[in-house]
Amino acid sequence: MPRKVCVVVTARASYARIRSALEAIRQHPDLELQLVVAASALLDRYGNAVQVIEREGFRIDRKVYMIVEGENLVTSAKSTGFGMAELATIFDDLHPDAVVTIADRFETMATAVAASYMNLPLIHVQGGEVTGSIDEKVRHAITKIADLHFVATEKAAERVIRMGERPDRVFATGCPSIDLAKVAIERPAAEIDLFSAYGGVGARLDLSNGYIVVLQHPVTTEYSESRRHIEETLHAVAELDLPTLWFWPNVDAGSDGTSKGIRAFRETHTLPHVHFFKNLPPDDFIRLLHGSRCIVGNSSVSIRECAYLGVPAVNIGSRQAGRDRGRNVIDVDYDRGEIRSAIQRHIAAPRPPADLLYGDGRAGERMADLVARLPLSIAKQLTY
Of residues 284, 285, 311, the one with CA closest to residue 296: 311
Of residues 80, 94, 116, the one with CA closest to residue 6: 94
Is 136 found in the same domain as 102?
yes
Is 138 found in the same domain as 246?
no
**What residues form DSSP beta bridges with 64?**
38
- Averaged pLDDT for residues 54-75: 91
Give 374's contacts (C-beta < 8 A, 6+ positions apart). Answer: 148
Least confident of 86-90, 133-137, 163-167, 287-291: 133-137
Is 132 found in the same domain as 27?
yes
Please tell me whether residue 37 adopts helix, strand or coil conformation.
strand
329-332 sheet: strands from edge to edge: 201-202, 274-277, 244-247, 212-215, 294-297, 313-316, 329-332
**What residues form DSSP beta bridges with 170?**
149
Residue 217 has pLDDT above 90, yes or no: yes
First-to-last alpha carbon distance for the chain, in angstroms, is: 36
Contact 262, 276 (CB under 8 A): yes
Strand-pair category, 98-102 with 122-125: parallel
Of residues 30, 112, 41, 109, the one with CA closest to residue 77: 109
Residue 45 has pLDDT above 80, yes or no: no
- Averaged pLDDT for residues 207-216: 96
Residue 354 lies in a domain: no
Range of the domain at 122: 3-175+359-373
- Averaged pLDDT for residues 307-322: 94
pLDDT for position 196: 92
Is 193 found in the same domain as 110?
no
Q: What digits encode the pLDDT tens for the residues 321-363?
A: 888 899 999 999 999 999 999 999 999 999 999 999 999 999 9
Cα–Cα dist 8/123, whole Å? 11
Residue 246 lies in a domain: yes
Residue 215 has pLDDT above 80, yes or no: yes
Is 96 found in the same domain as 72?
yes
Residue 33 lies in a domain: yes
Global pTM reads 0.85
Residue 251 has pLDDT above 80, yes or no: no
Strand-pair category, 3-9 with 122-125: unpaired
CATH code, domain carrying 208: 3.40.50.2000
Cα–Cα dist 373/56, whole Å? 27
Is 243 found in the same domain as 144?
no
Residue 182 lies in a domain: no
Cα–Cα dist 337/24, whole Å? 45
170-172 sheet: strands from edge to edge: 62-64, 31-38, 3-9, 98-102, 122-125, 148-151, 170-172
Is 193 found in the same domain as 86?
no
Residue 272 lies in a domain: yes
Please give the mean pLDDT across all residues of the chain: 92
Cα–Cα dist 216/249, whole Å? 6
Phi, psi of 345 (to 5 degrees): -60, -45
pLDDT for position 384: 46
**What residues form DSSP beta bridges with 100?**
7, 123
Is 328 found in the same domain as 233?
yes
Q: What digits encode the pLDDT tens for the residues 258-291?
A: 999 999 999 999 999 999 998 888 889 999 999 9
Looking at the 3D structure of the chain, how many domains does it have? Answer: 2
Contact 88, 8 (CB under 8 A): no
> Which of the two residues, 283 and 62, has the higher pLDDT score?
62
Residue 55 has pLDDT above 80, yes or no: yes
Is 213 found in the same domain as 78?
no
213 burial class (0-12, 13-18, 19+ CB within 10 angstroms)? buried
DSSP class of residue 301 equals: G
Is 151 found in the same domain as 103?
yes
Of residues 379, 376, 383, the one with CA closest to residue 4: 376
Is 195 found in the same domain as 109?
no
Residue 190 has pLDDT above 80, yes or no: no
Cα–Cα dist 299/295, whole Å? 9
Is 325 found in the same domain as 214?
yes
pLDDT for position 82: 94
Residue type, position 83, single letter:
G
Residue 384 lies in a domain: no
Residue 104 lies in a domain: yes
Residue 379 lies in a domain: no
Of the chain, the percentage scoring pLDDT greater than 70 comes to: 97
Q: How confident is the model at residue 61 (pLDDT cuts 50, 70, 90)?
A: very high
